[in-house]
Amino acid sequence: MALLQISEPGQSPQPHQRKHAVGIDLGTTNSLVATVRSGMAEVLADEQGRDLLPSVVHYIKEGVSCVGHEAAEHNISDPLNTLASVKRLMGRGLADIKTFGSQLPYEFAADDGGMPKIKTVSGMVSPIQVSAEILRKLAGRAEIAFGGALDGAVITVPAYFDEAQRQATKDAATLAGIKVLRLLNEPTAAAIAYGLDEADQDAKDQERIIAIYDLGGGTFDISILRLSKGVFEVLATGGDSALGGDDFDHAIADWLRQQMGLGEDLNPIEQRILLETAKSAKEELTESEQVELEVLDWQGALTRDLMHSLIDGLIDKTLRACKKSLRDAGVDQSQINDVILVGGSTRTPRVGEKVAGLFGIEPLCSLDPDQVVAMGAALQAEVLIGNKSGDDMLLLDVIPLSLGIETMGGLIEKIIHRNTTIPVAKAQEFTTFKDGQTAMAIHILQGERELASDCRSLARFELRGIPPMVAGAAKIRVAYQVDADGLLSVSARELTSNVESRIEVKPSYGLGEDEITSMLQDSFSHARDDMQARALREQQVEADRMVEDLLAAIYKDGEALLDKEEQRCLQVAIQELRELRESTTEHRVLARQIESVAKASEEFAARRMDASIKTALAGQSLDEIEKG
């Protein structure tokens, strides 16, 4: 066959070469990275054997001084330059931050584009940059473990994260040079780690309702998911962003303080000693009934029952949030098939007891609750990168909030409704309001309320150059496309004149493409060659993928879908791309060639999709009969 001639030995990409993929749990307090080895998900530790990376970055005048454990040590001595809990700030506007940022000690200011930034000794820093530092550290951990470059990652986000927060997370990954395979909801990741998606295969027509109870150090989340025929759907989420296991420690420390006869105004050192004592007492009481305590010159004992009386009120608060989410989801306790415990604070046995009491079933807790989200993400990454065929597993997500457009009178017209399965594309036509109107402002919104001012503004852009017509004569088609990560791009086109304008929604709170590029350049400014090398490497990978995809496609469908001349042109284009990939050191030159091959093969790609959709269900009726 003719096409075999162009595959020279040694040059052919190896499709079955194992790729390096990880799952990353980018947490408020701690972050983790996991991968799959011999079929099992496992968390990658640092050189000291520590699994958790505190989500903390310390800045000095020259820039980032350290990330993780070392950074956390500066917490007390240099609080303004030690950035922690930035996940709370991701994708937020300055107004949001003013409402809840007061819990954080930092100074905030808007940059030229109105984006919120944190003032540090090294200058203004965006939450996205801080997250990128954490991601880069985790990626470094993985590259050491693999002894090679990282090919892709699945990064988890809370189920309630909106468009802007998801985009901010993805921007952070781009900034860290990580290829994102998918953003995955944290509760869905936990369900995957426990293999609930596979358990479903036995009972295909049944649906399962799963509750994920996630109690971290400083936050509590409850999510109710429905798993039905391979579709994971978030029914409701709730929780308390200011309640966590740290509050248990505070309650016990407070009891200690009273027992010791101390007043409320402790110095920071006393405070720290009491908290640490409380924390270790709490941990010991998971094993024993009573613990003997020696603090400063005080001696005493704490029993398990007494500890329960100190923390029960806090746990009850989480149970009330669970009940509320069950109501929102429209299900009652008895319909829950599985409860999963996530987060280090669920190690306190009392939490599991009370959760079991509420739902009437034993919660799943055989996996380490700190690791379960990262493990689920790693399992999904393994499938997406192509190391494991995932024929049995398909996660169809829905968008959590409706997407719409502002119309006359400050109202919102919903274009894509909440709970629509993604990816999805929808378009709607609008018209002009005034005679001779040549521009139209498009305001993209997210939310369920009727008034635009009550919804979240995602982006604004203008369609210009509409030919002057009488009011109502122009036809403007606004198209929304949401990808599998829940990220939106919008285009607007005037149909009579074909004037077009489009935007990737990474607006108000994300980073612009230019900003990312310039930040990338900044971060490599000490080593320009590094940046060049990296950019070249990225384009080479893309060129390889493209050659691999196209050769496979021609082999399979070339004879059927292309005429001789078309085949020849494509072969020439591929050959040129391969030669350039080997010879050039200029990433821009390679990028241009990739672009031109993409254009040359576009028609072929569309024909293939069309043809494969036609054959996808061929013989289907027979299968169905056989299955009965």
Partner 1 sequence: MKLSSDFFEIFAIPVAWQVDSNQLQRRYLKLQQEFHPDRYASHSDTEKRLAVQTASLINQAYDTLKSPLKRAQYLLELKQIDASQDSHVTSDGAFLMEQIELREALSEVRDSADPFAALDSLRAGVESSYTEQQNQFQAQYQSSDFDHAFNTVAKMQFSSKLLDEIEQLEAELEDL
Instruction: Give kind and range of the element (H or E) at residue 350.
Output: helix 349-359
Which residue number, 441 or 616, has a Cβ lying nearer to partner 1? Answer: 616
Q: Is residue 4 part of the contact set for partner 1 (CB under 8 A)?
A: no
x/- letters, 425..464, toward partner 1 (CB under 8 A): xx--------------------------------------
Is residue 164 within 8 A of residue 34, CB to CB? The reply is no
Q: Which of 13, 63, 93, 423 contacts partner 1 by CB under 8 A?
A: 423
Distance CA 57, CA 226 (A): 37
- Please give the order of strands across the beta sheet that includes 207-215: 231-240, 220-228, 207-215, 338-342
Q: Is residue 601 part of the contact set for partner 1 (CB under 8 A)?
A: yes
Is residue 233 within 8 A of residue 226, CB to CB? The reply is yes
Q: Is residue 605 part of the contact set for partner 1 (CB under 8 A)?
A: yes
Is residue 301 within 8 A of residue 293, CB to CB? The reply is yes
Map the footprint of partner 1 across residues 326-345, applying CB under 8 A.
327
Q: Which of 484, 495, 527, 572 contacts partner 1 by CB under 8 A?
A: 484
Q: Which of 3, 6, 7, 19 contacts partner 1 by CB under 8 A?
A: 19
Tell the smallest beta-carbon distance from residue 324 to partner 1 (Å).
10
Q: Which of 63, 152, 349, 512 contacts partner 1 by CB under 8 A?
A: 152
Q: Is 111 a catalytic residue?
A: no
One-character DSSP codes across 518-547: HHHHHHTTT-HHHHHHHHHHHHHHHHHHHH
CA-nearest of 549, 230, 537 to 386 is 549
Selecting among 25, 221, 370, 515, the annotated active-site residue is 25
Q: Is residue 395 part of the contact set for partner 1 (CB under 8 A)?
A: yes
Which residue number, 107 or 392, has a Cβ lying nearer to partner 1? Answer: 392
Is residue 154 within 8 A of residue 384, CB to CB? The reply is yes
Selecting among 133, 162, 186, 485, the annotated active-site residue is 186
Map the footprint of partner 1 across residues 369-388, applying CB under 8 A.
383-386
Tell the smallest beta-carbon distance from residue 381 to partner 1 (Å).
9
Tell the smallest beta-carbon distance from residue 548 to partner 1 (Å).
8
Distance CA 211, CA 501 (A): 43
Distance CA 248, CA 465 (A): 61
Which residue number, 159 or 543, has a Cβ lying nearer to partner 1? Answer: 543
Q: Is residue 407 part of the contact set for partner 1 (CB under 8 A)?
A: no
Q: Which of 42, 78, 254, 483 contacts partner 1 by CB under 8 A?
A: 483
Please state the φ and ψ torsions of residue 572, each to the nearest 5 degrees.
-60, -45
Number of Cα atoms under 13 Å in the Cβ half of residue 173: 25
Distance CA 185, CA 199 (A): 19
Burial of residue 507 (CB within 10 Å: 0-12, 13-18, 19+) is buried
Q: Is 475 a catalytic residue?
A: no
Dig out the tokens for 422 from the structure: 């993604």
Cα(first)–Cα(last) distance of the chain, in Å?
41
Q: Which of 621, 622, 626, 628 contacts partner 1 by CB under 8 A?
A: 621
Q: Is residue 149 part of the contact set for partner 1 (CB under 8 A)?
A: no
Q: Which of 142, 181, 211, 274 contacts partner 1 by CB under 8 A?
A: 181
Which residue number, 73 or 413, has a Cβ lying nearer to partner 1? Answer: 413
Is residue 396 within 8 A of residue 421, CB to CB? The reply is yes
Distance CA 539, CA 367 (A): 39
Map the footprint of partner 1 across residues 528-557, applying CB under 8 A.
542, 545-546, 548-549
Tell the smallest beta-carbon distance from residue 410 to partner 1 (Å).
20
Which residues form the interface with partner 1 (CB under 8 A)? Answer: 19, 151-152, 181-182, 229-230, 327, 383-386, 390-391, 394-396, 420-426, 481, 483-484, 542, 545-546, 548-549, 598, 601-602, 605-606, 609-610, 612-614, 616-618, 620-621, 624
Catalytic machinery residues: 25, 87, 186, 214
